[in-house]
Amino acid sequence: MTRIVIMGGGPAGYEAALVAAQHGANVTIVERDGLGGACVLYDCVPSKTFIASSGARAAMHGLSELGVVTDMADTSIDLRTVHGRVKGLALAQSADIRARVQREGVRVIIGEARFHDAEPGLAQHKVLVTPRSGDPEVLDADVVLIATGATPRVLPGAVPDGERILDWRQLYDMRELPEHLAVIGSGVTGAEFASAYTELGVKVTVVSSRDRVLPHEDADAAAVLEEVFSQRGTAVAKRARAERVERTEKGVAVHLADGRVIEASHALMTVGSIPNTQDIGLDRVGIEPGPGGFITVDRVSRTSVPGVYAAGDCTGVLMLASVASMQGRIAMWHALGEGVAPIKLKTVAANVFTHPEIATVGISQQAIDSGEVPARTVMLPLATNARAKMEGLRHGFVKLFCRPATGVVVGGVVVAPSASELILPIALAVQNQLTVEHLALTFSVYPSLSGSITEAGRQLMRHDDLD
Ligand SMILES: Cc1cc2nc3c(=O)[nH]c(=O)nc-3n(C[C@H](O)[C@H](O)[C@H](O)COP(=O)(O)OP(=O)(O)OC[C@H]3O[C@@H](n4cnc5c(N)ncnc54)[C@H](O)[C@@H]3O)c2cc1C
Ligand SMILES: NC(=O)c1ccc[n+]([C@@H]2O[C@H](COP(=O)([O-])OP(=O)(O)OC[C@H]3O[C@@H](n4cnc5c(N)ncnc54)[C@H](O)[C@@H]3O)[C@@H](O)[C@H]2O)c1
């Protein structure tokens, strides 16, 4: 029986464990905090639960236009309930995952794992486990999966204190909503929290080191978000690199590299994550971490060392729960000799959970504009969609990209309140190489937001006729 030890019980680790156990391996997961990992306990699941509350308030904006009279100023947020829900749901999901993997026969150890090989180059590996309670033990492994995830990056001049300078894992201990939140960093994490606190009625200033929010996302989508921010009174300081954040009598002062100073009551640090690869004894097996400390893997999650695989955020491939899970599963299929297709990153669907949401799949507009990928594109503003008009939705659009000659769908972007759900038909088309004609001839419900996807297909087909 193949002995598999998995370091880390996040999506990469626990999904791998399920696959390995189902294929008859002897599997042990060693997880420092709790099953589900940082994804379930501190990052993805808590943030999305928090955002559900902000979404409920965001939905009230258009109500008066629909004849439903509410007074936004009169709504209040019961932060204890919001945070209680966030933490409760995370713990419940972690417990569910633990029960699930144990049902499959996986041994779960809560503790720290690190390599313990006597020297690099051995065919089998040893993992030293220091459990939270009990004595350390050494596990023998034919295969080890490193799935140790990542941790919030700390700027030396802005070390979180959990009171006024916070990282995103500390937010849910706040007793009151901040008066004025400075969000440092405008990547996906920064944008999501900036949007959530904005919709909860908090004054927010986003500090973006670039000339826009969401520098790695679709530029038109980022522009929609900036427009919404501006309507809600959320400021975006652009080309603003925070050098340090200091506590003041009233709150914090964010000192920017160009000398500007932004005063706020609290600062939320969202300047990225660093991989948890420093203290796991990589030198014992001869793995040299790559740039930024990430572990280099190939498309079936192999490291440079036989019998050692890595998956998820510690590889820096695409820091998404869905990608981590897939890398973990692929690692186990490969290690156990099952037929496996290498991971395909061009078909990954992702969503930024702002209000409105921004969902993307496949080739980006930027790759098309730069000439890297030849494609034809169409962009339909939501304002042209009957259902959106009925619902009073103004902000958003659907974009579709296809190959010039064949009409095969290669990507798309949806900006809408439920973009994470609406992207699926485009993701299906990209994954299965469907054409714009397939989309165009598919019945969508009338009236529906997804009607814009089939309409986009028709517009690209019409373009075919004109060529
Ligand atoms: C705020 C935020 C929101 C996000 N939202 C989304 C989202 O909506 N959708 C999405 O797809 N992705 C989202 N992500 C990304 C997603 O959370 C990560 O991609 C995912 O957690 C990666 O899973 P993982 O298994 O690699 O690592 P993790 O979830 O980080 O789990 C790794 C685990 O390993 C443990 N560990 C580390 N070292 C050791 C050791 N030596 N021994 C034992 N255990 C160890 C860690 O404590 C951790 O629990 C979000 C990220 C952030 C920061
Ligand atoms: N909904 C989701 O799926 C979701 C949500 C959150 C995070 N994630 C994933 O997690 C990963 C990390 O995202 P992230 O947003 O946490 O990190 P990131 O590294 O993508 O963004 C951090 C941003 O902070 C900026 N920055 C760094 N130092 C700064 C400074 N001193 N002053 C001002 N700005 C500074 C960087 O330029 C960058 O734009 C991404 O791959 C993302 O996809 C996914």
What distance in Å separates the CA atoms of residue 345 and residue 236, rounded to the nearest whole number? 31
Mean pLDDT within 124-130: 98
Residue 159 placed within a domain: no
pLDDT at 464: 52
For 47-66, how does the pLDDT look when each residue is reduced to its tens digit (9 = 90+)? Answer: 999 999 999 999 999 899 99
Looking at the structure, tell me whether residues 131 and 175 fall in a common domain.
no
272 assigned binding-site residue:
yes
Residue of 315, 319, 355 best suited for mutating to test ligand 2, as the one with most atoms within 8 Å of CB: 319
Residues 102 and 7 in one domain: yes
Q: What's the 213 CA to ligand 2 centre distance in angstroms?
A: 10
**pLDDT at residue 465 tops 70:** no
pLDDT band at 45 (very low <50, low <70, confident <90, very high): very high
Question: What letter does residue 302 receive in the DSSP assignment?
Answer: B
Q: What does pLDDT average to over the chain?
A: 97
Task: Say whether 186 counts as a known binding-site residue.
Answer: yes
Distance CA 256, CA 155 (A): 13
Please give the pLDDT value at position 62: 87
Q: What is the pLDDT of residues 213-225, one digit of tens each?
A: 999 999 999 999 9
| Spatial distance between the Cα atoms of 53 and 32, rounded to a whole number of angstroms | 29
What's the confidence (pLDDT) of residue 72?
A: 87
Q: Do residue 300 and residue 226 come from a single domain?
A: no
Question: Which residue is associated with the tokens 């589900």?
Answer: 36
Domain boundary among 221, 250, 271: 271
146 and 16 inside one domain: yes
Q: Which amino acid is at 178?
A: P
Going from the Cα of 258 to the center of ligand 1, the distance in angstroms, rounded, reads: 34
What per-residue string of b and e applies to 429-444 under the rule 16 or more CB within 10 Å gives b?
A: bbbeebbbbbbbeeeb
Q: How far apart are CA 218 and CA 222, in angstroms?
A: 6
- pLDDT greater than 90 at residue 327: yes
Annotated binding residue 457:
no
Residue 207's domain comprises 165-271
Question: For 382-432, what is each residue's pLDDT tens digit?
Answer: 999 999 999 999 999 999 999 999 999 999 999 999 999 999 999 999 999
What's the confidence (pLDDT) of residue 463? 59
Q: What is the mean pLDDT of residues 140-162?
A: 98
Closest CA to 413 of 272, 193, 224, 230: 224
Q: What is the mean pLDDT of residues 7-15?
A: 98
Give the chain's length.
467
User: Whose CA is closest to 185, among 241, 225, 229?
Assistant: 241
* Distance from residue 251's CA to the centre of ligand 2 (Å): 24
Residues 178 and 205 placed together within one structural domain of the fold: yes
Q: pLDDT confidence of 73, banded at 50, 70, 90?
A: confident
Single out the residue in 345, 372, 388 at which a domain terminates. 345
Residue 350 lies inside a defined structural domain of this protein: no
Q: Ligand 1: distance of its center to the CA of 249 in Å?
A: 35
Q: Examine the domain organization and report whether 88 and 136 are in the same domain.
A: yes
Contact (Cβ atoms closer than 8 angstroms) between residue 335 and residue 302: no
State whether 227 and 367 are in the same domain: no
Residue 303 sits in the same domain as residue 334: yes
Do the beta carbons of residue 146 and residue 303 sit within 8 Å? Answer: yes
Whole-number pLDDT of residue 155: 98
Residue 466 inside a domain? The answer is no
Q: How far is CA 150 from CA 43, 74, 170, 272, 315, in A?
A: 10, 40, 16, 10, 9
Could you give the angle at which helices 219-232 and 188-199 cross, rounded to 10 degrees? Answer: 30
Kindly state whether residues 73 and 136 are assigned to the same domain.
Answer: yes
Closest C-alpha to ligand 1, atom 1: 43
Structural tokens at position 404: 């010039």
- Between helix 11-22 and helix 321-335 the angle, nearest 10°, is 30
Cα–Cα distance between 371 and 45 in angstroms, integer? 37
* Residue at 87 is within a domain: yes
Q: Which residues line ligand 1 (CB under 6 A)?
A: 7-13, 30-33, 37-39, 43-44, 47-48, 112-114, 147-150, 168, 189, 276, 280, 312-313, 319-322, 324, 353
Same domain, 114 and 141: yes
Is 304 in the same domain as 442? Answer: no
Residue 282, in any domain of the structure: yes
In a domain? residue 21: yes
Question: What number is the ipTM of this complex?
Answer: 0.99
- For 61-75, 125-139, 195-209, 360-374, which range has the lowest pLDDT when averaged over its residues? 61-75
Question: Ligand 2 pocket: which residues have CB below 6 Å?
Answer: 155, 184-190, 192, 207, 209, 215, 241-242, 270-273, 319-320, 350-353
Could you give the count of Cα atoms lying within 13 Å of 330 in the half-sphere of its Cβ? 20
Q: Look at residues 216, 247, 271 and tell me which one is the last residue of a structural domain.
A: 271
**Looking at the structure, do residues 264 and 284 belong to the same domain, yes or no?**
no
* Cα of 195 from ligand 1 centre, angstroms: 22
| CA-based nearest residue to 30, from 91, 115, 117, 95 | 115
Q: What is the mean pLDDT of residues 150-161?
A: 98
Please give the tally of structural domains in the chain.
Answer: 3
**Ligand 2, from 42, 51, 151, 189: best to mutate by most atoms within 8 Å of Cβ?**
189
Please tell me the residue having the least CA distance from ligand 2 atom 40.
319
Gap from CA of 307 to ligand 2 centroid (Å): 32
Pairing of strands 397-402, 376-381: antiparallel
- Look at residues 274, 2, 11 and name the one whose alpha carbon lies nearest to residue 147: 11
| CATH code of residue 241 | 3.50.50.60
